[in-house]
Amino acid sequence: MSIGEKIRGMPRGALVGFIAPLIALVCIVLAIAISPTFDWVTNALSDLGHYTRTDIGPNPLVRAIIFNFGLATTGILLILITLGFLKQINDWPTRIAMLPFLIAAGFLTAIGIFSENFSPTHYIVSVGLFTTFPFAMWFVGLAWLRFRHLWWFCAISLLLPFISVYIWWGTFNGTVPWTGMAIPEILTAMTAILWIWLFLTLEVKGKLSHLATHSE
């Protein structure tokens, strides 16, 4: 079976889940491409979403629309596929464990809506995102320890967030070679995307089908 056939045969919700993070990444890349003085070492990714800031490049309105659209769209899509997944399962520990992920997706959407122009709301929702997503992974990892065939994913879910914790700890303590937030933000985002794609891979391969009938 070709890659195209596999993609066409993929459940719509899973396909949207795989694509959603790419929308944010593509929009970030485009926003940086039109921001010639954006500096990964000193800037934050959210600087790209400021509607009037010109110190990182011209056309701030265009850049901000691209950046904020990407984040808000990705967040909304993640909310929708999460709600769809929750409707399909009867396993209450999993439903509870998915709540931090749902909240994190809400914070991501809010970051796209409340850009740096909206202070302190932007700061609050940004902290909310990077605080809740590690718990989303931890909660799911703990909830699925009951299932032996998912132990490898549980191990990843429990350990992966510590990469972000270490990166942010180093950023705030000045033990890393950058002063801005862009690098820890993108590295944290990549760990989140990896986790989401692994999660969706399990769903596509039918490894989570037992959750529809599990009643513990």
* Confidence category of residue 50, pLDDT binned at 50, 70, 90: very high
What local confidence, expressed as pLDDT, does residue 8 receive? 63
Q: Flag whether pLDDT at 214 surpasses 80.
A: no
- With CA atoms as reference, report the closest residue to 199 among 113, 117, 119, 141: 141
The beta-strand segments (E) located in 119-211 are: none
Q: Flag whether pLDDT at 211 surpasses 50.
A: yes
Q: Give Cα separations from 50 to 22, 45, 167, 186 (angstroms).
A: 21, 10, 25, 18
What local confidence, expressed as pLDDT, does residue 212 receive? 85
Q: Flag whether pLDDT at 79 surpasses 50.
A: yes
The beta-strand segments (E) located in the chain are: none
Q: Flag whether pLDDT at 10 surpasses 80.
A: no
* Confidence category of residue 107, pLDDT binned at 50, 70, 90: very high
Mean pLDDT of 180-185: 95
What local confidence, expressed as pLDDT, does residue 215 receive? 42
% of the chain residues with pLDDT over 90? 90
> For the ranges 1-15, 135-149, 170-184, which has the lowest average pLDDT?
1-15
Q: Is the dihedral of CA 189, 195, 201, 204 positive or negative?
A: negative
Q: Give Cα separations from 13 to 83, 193, 212 (angstroms).
A: 10, 16, 16
Q: Flag whether pLDDT at 37 surpasses 90.
A: yes
- With CA atoms as reference, report the closest residue to 178 among 45, 44, 42, 38: 42
